[in-house]
A and B are shown apart, each in its own frame.
Chain A
Amino acid sequence: MTAVAKELKTKEITISMGPQHPATHGVLRVVLELDGETVVKCTPYVGYLHRGVEKLSENRTYLSALPLTDRLDYISSMSNNVGYCVAVERLFGIEPPERAKYIRTIMCEMTRISSHIIGLTTHMLDIGAMTPFLYGFRDRERLIDLFEMTCGARLTVSYARIGGVRNDVSQEFLDKLYEFTEEFPKIIQEQYETLIDENRIWLQRTKGIGIISAEDAINWGLTGPTLRGSGVPYDVRKYAPYDAYPYVEFDVPIGKNGDVYDRYKCRMEELKQSNRIIKQCIEKMPRGPIMAPDAPKFTLPPKDKVLTDMESLIHQFVLITKGPIAAPVGEIYAATEVPKGELGFYIVSDGSGRPYRMRLRAPSFVHVSVLPKLCEDALVADVIANIGTIDIVLGECDR
């Protein structure tokens, strides 16, 4: 404290940031105790968007709980779908066919790109860069169009199914996607990296801000790019591969210092790696069925079959009136790497057609909890940078 400030008789004030604030990326309320411009204490409050998804899923069948997962992290709904399906498949012991695995991997990586674009560009907007934000939404639009082409929905897709995917992708889709992957590295280079990477304002606002060491990051349970920015190469896709990840080559980008800039850089590199994975998947994708042979036991048959095939009609009728088959008794924890980090589903089955307990380990929830640590002794403006860098979606945080 300077001499002038001492004479001026200052006192700490408490201000409330949010629940509605453009920089909080949703309904997050952060109560800041300030000494001048320095944050003394930071307390995040969540729960404004709590919808009881866990409780709801426990009263629904395995299949009808799937659309709820879309609404969690609504800008990367496909990853949530896949995460849930992977968990339920492990519980039932179902192996989806190769083609479905590749399609899912493509979708997951497309989601990662679109989610990272939003995460990065809104973060840039918070710090004051408007142009990449506009560019980002334009690029994301192309991916969203591709989602729409496959499953008819743009945001809440509900595309993955237990034991496969809902419908096959068209050749037109693959062609357009390939075209996108060819252009995308140039887009990253031209529109984001040249604008941001060595931008003086960006460097000053991000370098050395919100530092978290590797040990702390692990101890706090951080995952995803937020953890990898601190230099820990933990990635569920590498450590416990699911779907088509064992068949493709990619690197896990890591940072060094664990500050906001390194996390930004990590996400930027991940865009390129995702692009690489999509390209490989399109090239390697085999032909064949998209649903596991034993999955239809509890998944509704496709609509066109219901209208033409008697057996499918009976099957659908039985599923709707009687409910699906019983699950094996046991419990499973399955983790997948969604754009934000590790999404874990812990499902306890008591042998009925509904999950007895479904627990969601949401990465955003864990990431918000580390906010007080990041904001210790930072300036108010750095709080904005820190909220952006942990890349949260409050729908997932509150569930």
Chain B
Amino acid sequence: MAHEIKSPIPGTFYRKPSPDEPPYKEVGDSVAKGDTIGLVEVMKTFHEVKADGEGTVASYEVEDTDPVTAGQVLVKLD
């Protein structure tokens, strides 16, 4: 069943732990509950976004370094 992972806070979304590292997840990767799918930077502090469901990454709804709002969908899982 489809599941959406939303940003808990407003800020800037990052798909990678740091610019030189690979993304946490790619489309097609399997995701377990509690897996980190990205970071949100809010007021110069970084917060990991954890999956609150499980499945396979169908799409990333925002690009790396895009601004996001609280409650915005970041990732869709199949």
Partners in one complex: no
Residues on A lying within 8 angstroms of B by beta carbon are none
